[in-house]
Amino acid sequence: MSGNFFEDFKLGQLFEHRPKRRLTEGDAAVYKAVYGSLFDNGALDELLVFHTVFGMSVRDISLNAVANLGYAQCVFGRLVQPGAELSARSTVIGLKENSDRKTGIVTVRTQGFDGAQEVLSFARWVMVRKRDAASPAPEAALPELASVAAFPPAPGEAPGFSIGRRIDHIDGTTIEEAEHAMATRLYNNVARVHFNQFAERSGRFGRRLVYGGHVISIARALSFNGLEGTRIVAINGGRHVAPVFAGDTIFAWSQVLDIQGAALRLRTVAAKDLPCDSFPEKDGVVLDLDYWAILSP
Amino acid sequence: MSGNFFEDFKLGQLFEHRPKRRLTEGDAAVYKAVYGSLFDNGALDELLVFHTVFGMSVRDISLNAVANLGYAQCVFGRLVQPGAELSARSTVIGLKENSDRKTGIVTVRTQGFDGAQEVLSFARWVMVRKRDAASPAPEAALPELASVAAFPPAPGEAPGFSIGRRIDHIDGTTIEEAEHAMATRLYNNVARVHFNQFAERSGRFGRRLVYGGHVISIARALSFNGLEGTRIVAINGGRHVAPVFAGDTIFAWSQVLDIQGAALRLRTVAAKDLPCDSFPEKDGVVLDLDYWAILSP
Amino acid sequence: MSGNFFEDFKLGQLFEHRPKRRLTEGDAAVYKAVYGSLFDNGALDELLVFHTVFGMSVRDISLNAVANLGYAQCVFGRLVQPGAELSARSTVIGLKENSDRKTGIVTVRTQGFDGAQEVLSFARWVMVRKRDAASPAPEAALPELASVAAFPPAPGEAPGFSIGRRIDHIDGTTIEEAEHAMATRLYNNVARVHFNQFAERSGRFGRRLVYGGHVISIARALSFNGLEGTRIVAINGGRHVAPVFAGDTIFAWSQVLDIQGAALRLRTVAAKDLPCDSFPEKDGVVLDLDYWAILSP
């Protein structure tokens, strides 16, 4: 009931996450209301699927997390239609205690399924508290994670895009506490730092922390203005560079890193309280996301 | 248009509440986003059904309520599936003027129907203002209400539970005004104290009061951590011990009062701005709920 | 990507708005949660359809608007059922530069379609910034817009209503920022003044402006208390008399302007932080809406 602590994890351990989660047109509408994304191909938004599979894993993996550190090798499979019942499981693929002995890094491979069909797979690593600093640490094991995710070729072209091009998405969205909390609960995410102001008042930041995925979805919605017609098929990596709180206004810019057929490798950077017409790289940056999107007809 | 005042009610009076309310997967998604409950058996959450039937009765019964005082003999029937059109009616079963002659207690038996099938029945009593303190009062009539609700036997066992066991549900949820208002409107509840900050600024508390049922749903969602696998089948009684406002953080603990086959009689206590690892009984307590839940496979 | 400025518009220009928008039971549930409207005839709320068609037009027409000035000749066609995919297009029917040369008035006729069937048509005029005050202005053209919308006759009677009668809708609803933002995003409305607190902090009002249509929907929901059983079939005209912000409490009153069979010509006036029992005409008024509603069985 208190969740797993670092010393509870074992290399190769498999978690079948409970409960399952059926995503409906109702969930899609709440997602739409929170982010306003204009991307729409009739299926569920790929990030709604990502956040839900991620959220389903929180009770087992990251209830006692200090910070979610990164993602890699995230690949989206078949589009998920409203009404699908998602299941999710995670396998521990890396463990390493930190030198302070109070925390350790847990790396998992998490998979999401629509029935028997895998619709999503990603690796993530997260810093998890130990129950007891004196507990013995497992032998350190660090997985090899390719820096670029593999995904099926996308024949075609990407007219209007060129490698190196930078795009300011112009608009900004201010985060409201209620929107953030509603979205994060929609994903079955029960991480404590997001919902309990009483506890967070005396915590690290004095306030509730916004779920990093919320910022990804806001940045993605903003990027419609410049990236219309794209669909995310893989995430190479993502870093939450700085914490985000209700009241922050998120802006975003993107750069084309590579083009392969109709697939664009994009880097989308989000900043808070900082318009992105100067393409910020450091100060104010909160998210740095490297992903593949295909131009869908 | 101003709603019924105490002197408008008559013993035996029947209200067929209007309008009816169709509950869909969309409503289920909003409910999910507001509470994040992980309880899910494919049907609509029993508390969504409860709040909706309750809310449908507000225009006729409690638009001029000072306080909702309690519930009893609440029994849930068949599970309600998304798409069901609910109707509701209430019968006045008790009336008693208060000694100040400005208010009186109205007790009603409210029933909710999915088509012709009763899906919910409960008694509630509420303090209602008189239009005019000088109006004659109806003859006092107080209904007999059993302190334990009758519900069909649940054969089986309750492994892992024992009478007297107390469970701290650990997590806390901070209430946001927008979430509370959205949920309460979802239920067709139009009680004025919940929505009108202009009027409440000069009212009893200086601010909008949170609908008591909102706290029940938050406490229930928190209780998944310890009561996973249960489904509410009856509510013996509930008291809103202290008012709740946006900004309050709700915690909860439960105790097993009785076990009959696979049915658990539970008491769930919610407190505000007070973690429940010490199982508070008084200070900080806002809700005291006595109900039956069955362990569903 | 920066939207159209005044000098970009041409008389007769046609915009096919993108993307299309499928409205589901999920959207209906979010709408319900935000406004709590008790009007319900099984179809999508006519104002949800209006706001969505309006919102779909914003990227092309009013991304650089200073103010949305008015509507006229708004006629609703067939009811729209959940699941309908709406498309929308706008034709420029009026252009007139303002004397300061920094802005101009653009008038469009916007139509909404459910498949091939027109479900909504309205004219609106909006003040749009010029990119460059020195740009040449198009020749001024002002459309003739009838002050009363034409709609199919509604045989029958309007029992209980009489011309001139005024109705105080009594209740008040306080606007929360999150509710307003969620609703407005639901409509695909991306007008910048609604979402970006960072920019608006140094803008005209120092804060985000509430979408005018949000106030229409709140006033309509309040008007159930007195106008139960009505359905909007046409809007003759609407004016947003004063800006509205989160934290404002909206009240409303209505007057019967005309009766034709079962059709009522109504004026609904909304005020902020001002109960409407004295039927305010000026101070505090934020919305003045003139429309036809039919009494539906």
User: Cβ atoms within 10 A of the Cβ of C97, count?
Assistant: 20
pLDDT at residue A297 is higher than 70: no
Q: pLDDT band for position A82 (50/70/90)?
A: very high
- Count of positions (residues) in chain A: 297
pLDDT more than 90, % of chain C: 92
**Can you give the pLDDT at residue A248?**
98
Whether chain A has a CB inside 8 Å of the CB on B83: the answer is no
| Contact: B34, A192; criterion CB under 8 Å | no
pLDDT at residue A2 is higher than 90: no
Contacts of C11 (CB under 8 A, 6+ apart): C92, C93, C94, C95, C138, C139, C141
| Integer CA distances (angstroms), C239 to A93, A158, C68, C108, in order | 61, 45, 9, 16
Mutation pick from A35, A182, A189 vs chain B, by most beta carbons of B within 10 Å, is A182
CB pairs under 8 A between B and C: 87
**Can you give the pLDDT at residue C115?**
94
Residues 219-238 of A with CB under 8 A from C: 225-226, 228
Enumerate the residues of chain C whose CB falls inside 8 A of the CB of residue A176.
177-178, 181
Residues 117-136 of A with CB under 8 A from C: none
pLDDT at residue C1 is higher than 80: no
Whether chain C has a CB inside 8 Å of the CB on A40: the answer is yes
Contacts of B54 (CB under 8 A, 6+ apart): B110, B122, B124, B187, B189, B213
For the stretch B18-21, contacts whose Cβ atoms lie closer than 8 Å and that sit 24 or more positions apart, written own/partner, are B18/B59, B18/C228, B19/B188, B19/C38, B19/C40, B20/B56, B20/B85, B20/B86, B20/B87, B20/C40, B21/B52, B21/B55, B21/B56, B21/B85, B21/B86, B21/B188, B21/C40
Enumerate the residues of chain C whose CB falls inside 8 A of the CB of residue B19.
38, 40
Domains of chain C plus CATH, in order, are 1-131 (3.10.129.10), 157-175+210-297 (3.10.129.10)
Nearest-neighbour CA in chain B from C18: distance (Å): 25
| Both structure tokens of C27 | 């959207």
Q: pLDDT band for position C268 (50/70/90)?
A: very high
Taking alpha carbons only, the member of B243, B171, B232 closest to residue B206 is B243
pLDDT more than 90, % of chain A: 92
| Mean pLDDT (whole number) for C101-105 | 96
| Contact: A197, B179; criterion CB under 8 Å | no
**Residue B136 DSSP one-character state:** P
Enumerate the residues of chain A whose CB falls inside 8 A of the CB of residue C20.
40
| Contact: A32, C181; criterion CB under 8 Å | no
For residues C61 and C49, what is the distance between their CA atoms, to the nearest angstrom? 18
On whether the CB atoms of residues C160 and C262 are closer than 8 A, the answer is no
pLDDT at residue A192 is higher than 90: no
| Contact: B33, A190; criterion CB under 8 Å | no
**Closest CB to B29 among C29, C42, C167:** C29
pLDDT more than 70, % of chain A: 100
| Contact: B249, A197; criterion CB under 8 Å | yes
The backbone torsions φ and ψ at residue C282, rounded to the nearest 5 degrees and listed phi first, read -140, -75
**Closest CB to A197 among B28, B42, B174:** B174
| Both structure tokens of C289 | 């809406």
Taking alpha carbons only, the member of B75, B53, B70 closest to residue B126 is B70
| Contact: B174, A195; criterion CB under 8 Å | yes
**Closest CB to C176 among B178, B198, B199:** B178
- Which residue, chain included where needed, has tokens 């994009």? A266
Which run of H or of E encompasses A68? strand A65-76
Residue pLDDT, tens place only, A97-153: 999 999 999 999 999 999 999 999 999 999 999 999 999 988 999 999 999 999 889
Contacts of A75 (CB under 8 A, 6+ apart): A120, A121, A122, A149, A150, A151, A233, A234
| Contact: C29, A29; criterion CB under 8 Å | yes
Q: pLDDT band for position A67 (50/70/90)?
A: confident
**Can you give the pLDDT at residue B232?**
97
Nearest-neighbour CA in chain C from B189: distance (Å): 8
pTM for the model: 0.97
Q: What is the pLDDT along chain B (297 residues), one digit of tens a residue?
A: 789 999 999 999 999 999 999 999 999 999 999 999 999 988 999 999 999 999 999 999 999 998 888 899 999 999 999 999 999 999 999 999 999 999 999 999 999 999 999 999 999 999 999 999 999 988 999 999 999 999 889 999 999 999 999 999 999 999 999 999 999 999 999 988 899 999 999 999 999 999 999 999 999 999 999 999 999 999 999 999 999 999 999 999 999 999 999 999 999 999 999 999 999 999 999 999 999 999 986
Enumerate the residues of chain C whose CB falls inside 8 A of the CB of residue B81.
none
pLDDT more than 70, % of chain C: 100
Q: pLDDT band for position C67 (50/70/90)?
A: confident
Q: For C247, which residue in chain B has the nearest alpha carbon?
A: B197
pLDDT at residue A264 is higher than 70: yes
